[in-house]
Amino acid sequence: MTEAADRAVTTVGAVFPRALGDDFARLHPMMQRRFGVSIDGGYACVGRGVMTSIRRGPWWTVPFLQFGRLRNILIPDVGHDVPFTIENHAYLDPFGRETITFVREYRLPGRRRASRFDATMVVDPARGTVVDYLGTHQHLAVDLAFGVEADGSLLLRSGQQRFREGALDFRFPMLGSGYAELRERFDDEAGVYRVRLEVRNRVFGFLFGYEGWFECEFPDTTEVPQHLLPKRHEARY
């Protein structure tokens, strides 16, 4: 098999089932549907709901969050009962890798423009790790680790972060960044998904977090809306 053919085989396939392996079947059935979005599946996941709380750390975190806002990497806003959407679509990126979009958009009252958080995820075939590219230009590559809880919920933790832009290629110092922990579950009684995220710095503590709920539709589609795609794709994991 040629190197190109081998690359195509190892980089195509549903991202989360590949990452979780046998544990994928332990997810709640509605979580399996949500995180089973793939090219072969032929459907997307579009969620609409409310962030009951969006919080940030002390005043000195604001410049850090504002900087991340420039490329849709972080959200400096705070609020309660904020409407939001999240869109997950599967597509092949320019390097032949199956990719999943995680684009969240928040509509704060009184704001002319929505706040947006862009992420796209692929599997690094060499390590079997999901790599989360953050922002409109995929400048920040973050390793993700997943676990399935006893109630069928998903636990996500972020790891090492690497900055990639042209000749620049370095591990981002975690003193200037944060580790994320996200829990998502399906609430059978309410019929909604519930999500909670916290980003913390090992030295400075809490930086940013949110929690809320949303409902999902699963439209049949193989097309990704252009406004959800990154402006630049990064080949390096």
pLDDT for res 1: 38
Beta-ladder partners of 221: none
Asked if the model's pLDDT at residue 8 lies above 70, the reply is no
170 against 90, higher pLDDT: 90
pLDDT bin (cut points 50, 70, 90) of residue 9 is very low
Asked if the model's pLDDT at residue 89 lies above 50, the reply is yes
pLDDT digits (tens, 9 = 90+) for 41-76: 999 999 999 999 999 877 666 655 555 555 556 666
Cβ partners under 8 Å of residue 183, min gap 6 = 149, 153, 154, 155, 156, 195, 196
Asked if the model's pLDDT at residue 7 lies above 60, the reply is no
- The three-state secondary structure class of 157 is strand
Residue that the structure tokens 């390096």 belong to: 236
pLDDT digits (tens, 9 = 90+) for 161-186: 888 777 777 676 655 667 899 999 99
pLDDT for res 214: 98
Beta-ladder partners of 50: 83, 213
Is the torsion defined by CA of 194, 87, 83, 197 positive or negative? positive
Are 133 and 158 contacting, i.e. CB atoms less than 8 angstroms apart? no
C-alpha span between 50 and 195 (Å, rounded): 10
Beta-ladder partners of 112: none
197-222: average pLDDT: 91
C-alpha span between 131 and 140 (Å, rounded): 10
Q: Which two tokens stand for residue 122?
A: 């692929």
pLDDT for res 103: 94
Backbone angles phi, psi at 236, to 5 degrees: -80, 140
Q: How far is CA 27 from CA 123, 128, 148, 210, in A?
A: 19, 19, 6, 22
pLDDT bin (cut points 50, 70, 90) of residue 5 is very low
Q: How far is CA 86 from CA 98, 106, 116, 119, 120, in A?
A: 19, 9, 10, 11, 12
pLDDT digits (tens, 9 = 90+) for 30-43: 999 999 999 999 99
Q: Average pLDDT, whole number, for the chain?
A: 87
pLDDT for res 69: 55
Global pTM reads 0.87
C-alpha span between 111 and 54 (Å, rounded): 15
